[in-house]
Structure 1
Amino acid sequence: MADRGFPDQHTTTTVTSTNTTVQTNIRFDASYVRTLPGMLKVGQMVVDILGFICIIASNWSHSSRGSWFNTVAMGGFWFTGIMLALYLFHIVEKLYRIPWLKIEFIFCTLWVLFYLIAASLAAAIGGAIEAFAAAAFFGFVGMILYGFDAYIKFKAIKGGEIAQGERVVIKSTSTAASPAY
Structure 2
Amino acid sequence: MESARQFDDIATVDPPPPYRPSDQGQNGSITLDLDYMKSIPGMLKAIEMVLYIIILICVGVGIHAWIHLRGVAIWALIWTILLYGVMATSVREKIRVIHWSASDFLSTGLHFMMMLIASIVAATHAGRGISADDAAIAFGFITAAVCFYHCYLRYPDFKSLVDRAQASRHSTTAQAGGQVRTTVTTVQQGDVVTERTVTTVHQ
5+ long unaligned stretches in structure 2: 1-13, 25-29, 163-203
Aligned-partner SS, 1:159: helix
One-letter identity of the residue aligned with 1:20: P
Equivalent pairs counted in the alignment come to: 141
Q: C-alpha root-mean-square deviation of aligned residues, in Å?
A: 2.4
Aligned match of 2:17: 20
The structure having more radius of gyration, on CA atoms, is 1
Q: For the residues of structure 1 that align with 2:127 and 2:41, how far apart are their CA atoms? A: 31
The equivalent residue for 1:127 is 128
Residue 145 of structure 1 is matched in structure 2 by 146
Letter in 2 for 1:46: V
2:62 matches 1:58:
yes
> Aligned to 1:154, what secondary structure does the other structure show?
helix
Question: What are the superposed Cα offsets for residues 13-52 of structure 1, whole Å, 9 maximum, x if unpaired?
Answer: xxxx998366452322344321111100111001111111
Q: Which runs of 5+ in 1 are unaligned?
A: 1-16, 162-181
Deviation of 1:158 (Å): 2.1
Summarize the Cα distance change of 1:76–1:22 in structure 2 as closer, same or farther, 3 Å threshold: farther
Distance 1:129 1:33, change over 3 A: same
The answer on whether the counterparts of 1:123 and 1:132 sit within 8 Å (CA) in structure 2 is no
Secondary structure (helix, strand or coil) at the match of 2:17 reads strand
- The TM-score with structure 2 as length reference comes to 0.62
8 Å contact 2:122–2:137 — kept in the other structure? yes
Matched, 1:38 2:42: yes
1:92 paired to 2:92: yes
CA distance in 1, matches of 2:128, 2:121: 12
For residues 88 and 56 of structure 1, what CA distance do their matches in structure 2 show? 30
For the 8 Å contact 2:69–2:118, the answer to whether it is kept is yes
TM-score, L = length of structure 1? 0.68
Q: 1:21 to 1:144 in 2, by over 3 A?
A: farther
SS in 2 for 1:89: coil
Query: How far off is 1:131 after superposition?
Result: 1.6
Going from structure 1 to structure 2, the CA distance change for 1:159 and 1:47 (only over 3 Å counts) comes to: same
- Choose between structure 1 and 2 for higher RCO, CA contacts under 8 A separated by at least 6 residues: 1
| Alignment partner, residue 157 of structure 1 | 158
1:22 & 1:34 partners in 2: Cα distance?
24
Q: C-alpha displacement at 1:140, in angstroms?
A: 0.6
Task: Measure how far apart 1:111 and its partner are.
Answer: 1.2
Instruction: State the identity as a percent.
Output: 26
2:77 equivalent to 1:73: no
